Chain A
Amino acid sequence: MATVASTITAPGADVHRTPLIRVTLVWVLTALVLFPVLAILGLLMRAQQGGYLQSTPPEVFYAIMTLHGLGMVGLWFVAGMAVISVLLANYVKPTTAVSWIAYGATLAGVVLLLAATLIGRLGVGWYFLYPLPFHSGGTWPPWATASLFAALAIMGVGWTVWSADLLFAIARRYRLSHALGWHYLSGATTPDVPPIIIISTVSFIGVLAGLVAAVVILVLVALEQFGSGFTNDALLIKNLTFYFGHMVVNITMYFGVAMVYEVLPAYTGRPWKTNTLVVLAWNLVLFLVMFAYLHHLYMDFAQPRWLQVTGQLSSYLISVPAAVVTIFSTLVLIYGSTMRWRLPSVMLFLGVMGWAIGGVAAVIDSTVAVNTRFHNTLWVPAHFHTYFVMGVMLMILGTVFHLVTDLSKVPERSALTKTIVGTVGLGGYGFLLMFYLAGVASVPRRYAVYPAEVAVGTTFAKVSLIFIAVLLVGALVYIWETGRRCLKAFSS
């Protein structure tokens, strides 16, 4: 029976876990510092869109937008990886040194990106859609573009090595068919493979595929820049770009979900074990996640029709395992249980709810006929901020709080828990609602300033500032509480 303590100090816990815990705490502290900075960049963006900061040149807005996007995607990915690695250490042996290498690579990438955006004013958006990085129109210098690709390359190498190490850690203990749970399909229950192993196997395979796609992009782009006569097909690069981007954010989501499977049982007092449904669901996800990215190219009429239809079908279908297996099982796990509502369990619970709501918005937009009106409006940030802010962020931060509370032995104070949950919930959903309403009103995304035709966007941005402020209050309380537990865990 899982207890709170057992996620860190399982029977037979090894000394080897201490260095891993240490590097993970470094990751967590770094994330706690970077997150509010990146969030404030988002606040500045909404402020400018709300008509304030009018003296800020638009290229600064777009540079901040690029940093906020790349930063947040990268931040939650590495936070997910770090937390997952410590949870996986209950079952397999990740290499601590690799986590440090990835940390170093990530820091190097962060520095390069900060330079490129804040100094160089690189404004390419987080998915740097080719050929925009090479058409600055004088806005940013060539070294900023070079820094961007260098950052991506360095972080990519670091993250590839990290993902491969974690997958290999699984491979050292389980054979592939067991790691994917196939033996459960024929009724066998041994070896007992916990859900986190299956989800992690699926996730690392996905991540590696996404990172390889990024490598292909870098090679093709380099060939064009340095080769003579080699010209890239914009459609091919766009397919590869969204394959990579969609995969990274989806897998980050799955890391959060794996944490729910692993940690929530400790609070409900009920186990969550692998069964046929879990295996079917996650193997189906592994297959479908390879195609779902196609929903980003509906408005590219150059894309063959059958790929467009595949995009809608796979995007619709991928909601089924999520809803019918994971979300439903979460609810069954909690229903009528002796659930201990603490900050971690509340955050995990709300995170699953946010994932469900964001999922509805995503499936709606993945309908081609609807996408003709929603593509590149604020509906798109609405749904992915729902997934991130009220979904995976809550899942990861809930798990982090669980870990640091367990390590530091600092008890939780329910008043602070209620403050955090209340402000993050209200602030988060209010901020999101402004995005959704703006999307329905056809307000375009990624606009520094809204023209008269979509002036209502300015109003929505203004109102969202209030909610962001509320959200930030909760976030800062959380950061304070978690940060001090982190530091205490370090010293103990």
Chain B
Amino acid sequence: MPITAFVVFVISSAIILLVFGVVARSTNAHRDVNYARANRLRLLFFVSLGAILLIFLALTLPDLPYPVEASAPERIVLATGKQYAWSLTEGTSPTLDNWDTAFSPTINVPTGAVVEFRVTTLDVNHGFSLYGPDRHLKAQTQAMPGYVNRLRVVFDQPGTYTVLCLEFCGMAHHRMRGVVEVR
């Protein structure tokens, strides 16, 4: 899907470049503005742009990552962020007091399972993100102090998934990691 978005971007940019290029070149040959024609073209542009935006709204708004109903997950993983590590546990999540003994950076889940990550943080905003074995971002949600965000993921492909922090959180933001082993 990022590739699709990029293709849309490249095509749109190419069209913009082309149009701007044509207009720039047009100044070599002087002609008066035909305002009636310009306004007809503007109307056409408006209708086309409106249609494109509406189509993309219709295609993408039903695809919001905010499910209203969902079946019970097979595994519930408590993902807790703290400067500068992710803890992935089942059952109990670490607190600030017992972090060193209670945190675990790794968790195993079975392939094909519906896993629900309950994401929170013990200090500042972090971003919980899952990078798959193909090195692409699979899913993400924010970790906000005082809230638990719930992210449902189905791990179709076995392998090692990395949790990286996607919300700037301080000097070791780039080193925060967790591992989800999918077998």
Contact = CB atoms under 8 A, between A and B. Distances in A.
A62 to B, nearest CB: 6
B171 A454 contact: no
Interface residues of B, number: 74
Contact of B147 (A125, A302, A445): A302
A312 B125 contact: no
A299 B127 contact: yes
B144 to A, nearest CB: 5
B66 A305 contact: yes
B30 A59 contact: no
A14 interface: no
A370 interface: yes
Given A132-B125, A324-B46, A436-B9, A442 B136 contact: yes
A357 B13 contact: yes
Interface stretch (A23-31, A143-151, A154-162, A335-343): A335-343
A320 B50 contact: yes
Given A324-B45, A444-B164, A454 B30 contact: no
A134 B99 CA distance: 20
Nearest to B37: A332
Interface string A352-384: 010011001101100111101111110000000
Contact of A139 (B53, B124, B166, B171): B171
Contacts of B171: 57-59, 62, 123, 137, 139
A226 interface: no
B174 interface: yes
B60 A353 contact: no
Interface in B52-68: 53, 56-57, 60-61, 63-66
Given A353-B16, A364-B5, A376-B127, A131 B177 contact: no
Interface in B111-158: 123-125, 127, 129, 131, 135-137, 139-142, 144-147, 149-151
A289 B6 CA distance: 25
Interface residues of A, number: 77
Interface stretch (A110-118, A230-238, A243-251, A477-485): A230-238
Contacts of A353: 16-17, 20
Contacts of A270: 33
A137 B24 CA distance: 54
A169 B22 CA distance: 40
A299 B30 contact: no
A172 to B, nearest CB: 34
B57 A316 contact: yes
B32 to A, nearest CB: 7
B57 to A, nearest CB: 6
B13 A328 contact: no
Contact of A331 (B13, B20, B84, B150): B20
A1 B140 CA distance: 55
Contacts of A356: 16, 20
Nearest to A382: B9
B70 interface: no
A90 interface: no
B160 to A, nearest CB: 9
A338 B28 CA distance: 8
A446 B176 CA distance: 13
A346 B61 CA distance: 39
B23 to A, nearest CB: 5
Interface string A427-449: 00000000010011110111111
Contacts of A234: 125, 144-147
Contacts of A422: none
B91 interface: no
15 contacts: A233-B146, A308-B66, A316-B56, A320-B53, A357-B16, A360-B16, A363-B53, A368-B61, A369-B60, A373-B1, A374-B2, A376-B166, A376-B167, A441-B2, A444-B164
Pairs of residues from A and B, 3 with the lowest C-beta to C-beta distance, nearest first = A336-B31, A442-B137, A369-B63
